[in-house]
Amino acid sequence: MYPQFETMEFKDQNDRMTRGGIYYTRIHFVREKYGTGGMQRLYNKMKEYGYNGPATEDEIKIADWYPHSYDILFLKAFKELFGESAFKRMARTVPRISGGVSDLFLKWPDNPNKLIKEGVKYWHMFYNFGRLESEVLDGGKGIIRGYGISTDPIFCELLTYYFQGLLEKAGALNVEVEHTHCVHRGDKFEEWKLTWSALDKSKNKKFSKIEWDKSLETGIDEIDEQHKYFVKILNEINIRLNNKDKGLLLEMLYFMDKYAHWHFSSEEKYMKKYNYPDYLKHHAEHERFYNYTKETIIEAKRGLDEHLEYSVNKYLIDWLINHIMGTDKKFANFLRDNNLVMENERMPSELEKVVKSTI
């Protein structure tokens, strides 16, 4: 039996559940860093200690819930196999590769105060137990408290590095996170004190354009042609951001939402037709984009400010590039490997009219 494992009551903790996307991002890190062989080593180690959960990435559904004890065991096996420094790096890196987290926190780029204040409200998107509270202090300081969130000390350790990664993602420099209270040391709650000294302004190049090049090509002409229009729409949004015209920006955001629904539906039509095995994961990324656009339109109606403008620019460009380079190219490879084709989907007339007259 794994050291400390008895205290977890592993087989009896199904009431504490974790969203599948959490496991997926951890697996993604292992796969990218250590390859399929590293992932197999980790699963073998987990099975030695009684693991009986999903055994492959394809078996994990992002939107489903899984026993939290699976995640705890994953973390213990990871740390034993790859060491403390790798564990820290994984915890700090996950916020950068998690689709759900990126969608939430890219709304507040260059704004650690907002991230700390608002971010804790999203705990229950990922876990069905416990809660987080936060307090923002002057001078680059904040406090996060957790109630009923920790089943094992390794989870507290993970969150310590994870919070550091979130602040770094928001552009903060010299980030320090101290785990000052812990239920496993006899305290009634978890508490982390966070400090940072400055923001990395050099990363915040606002209103940058996206240039189409061969690196963005999937090799499927129908997909690439639709993506080229997507790039043109994003660049038109950036022009309107530079002009600080809320009315024109909202007009283009509404149009982008309509275009995205048509483009994504076109892709998903063939995913369903050909029984694409990663359809649900791909569809989940599309849904996150819809949700971001919807929330951005609501915020833009209230008014434009520096953080919203930067968020719109950075989120849209980062999302499209990451989506094309990862998820879309994976679908394109599936089509090629199986000698499948996509027909040229004609753009609806109302969209085509705007495209020809505006961009």
Which tens digits make up the pLDDT trace of 212-229? 888 899 999 999 999 999
**Among candidate residues 144, 169, 201, the one where a domain is terminated:** 201
Average pLDDT, the chain: 83
CATH number assigned to the domain comprising residue 246 = 1.20.120.50
With a pLDDT cut of 90, the percent of the chain lying above it is: 39
Q: Note whether 155 and 288 are same-domain residues.
A: no
Residue 199 pLDDT: 57
Side chain identity at residue 32, one-letter code: E
Q: Note whether 122 and 247 are same-domain residues.
A: no
Q: Note whether 230 and 321 are same-domain residues.
A: yes
Q: Residue 50 falls within a domain, yes or no?
A: yes
**Among candidate residues 153, 169, 201, the one where a domain is terminated:** 201
Per the structure, the count of domains in the chain is 2
Q: Residues 289, 277: contact at Cβ < 8 Å? A: no
Q: Which residues contact 85 (CB under 8 A, 6 or more apart)?
A: none
Containing 181, the helix (H) or strand (E) segment is strand 176-181
CATH number assigned to the domain comprising residue 33 = 3.90.1520.10
**Among candidate residues 201, 228, 261, the one where a domain is terminated:** 201
Q: Note whether 80 and 192 are same-domain residues.
A: yes
Where in the sequence is the domain holding 276, given as residue range(s)?
A: 214-358
How many other CB atoms sit within 10 Å of the CB of residue 98?
A: 22
Residue 116: burial class (beta carbons within 10 Å; 0-12, 13-18, 19+):
buried
Q: Note whether 321 and 183 are same-domain residues.
A: no
Q: Residue 207 falls within a domain, yes or no?
A: no
Q: Note whether 228 and 342 are same-domain residues.
A: yes
DSSP state of 98: -
Q: Note whether 344 and 221 are same-domain residues.
A: yes
Give the lowest-confidence range in 97-111, 142-156, 310-324.
97-111
> Which pTM does this prediction carry?
0.59
Q: Residue 208 falls within a domain, yes or no?
A: no
Residue 143 pLDDT: 96
At 9-54, the pLDDT tens digits run 434 445 789 988 888 888 888 888 888 899 999 999 999 988 888 8
Coil vs helix vs strand at 304: coil
At 154-192, the pLDDT tens digits run 999 999 999 988 887 777 778 899 999 999 999 999 999
Q: Note whether 266 and 171 are same-domain residues.
A: no
Q: Note whether 197 and 218 are same-domain residues.
A: no
Residue 202 pLDDT: 47
Strand duo 172-173 + 198-199: pairing: antiparallel
Q: Note whether 177 and 237 are same-domain residues.
A: no
Alpha-carbon distance 283 to 272, whole Å? 11
Q: Note whether 164 and 239 are same-domain residues.
A: no
Q: Residue 132 falls within a domain, yes or no?
A: yes
- Could you give the C-alpha distances from 18 to 55, 69, 124, 127, in angstroms and in order? 16, 9, 9, 5
Q: Note whether 231 and 311 are same-domain residues.
A: yes
Give every strand in the sheet of 176-181, ordered side by side: 131-137, 141-147, 190-195, 176-181
Which residues are registered as beta bridge partners of 327? none
Average pLDDT over residues 92-111: 62
Q: Residue 206 falls within a domain, yes or no?
A: no
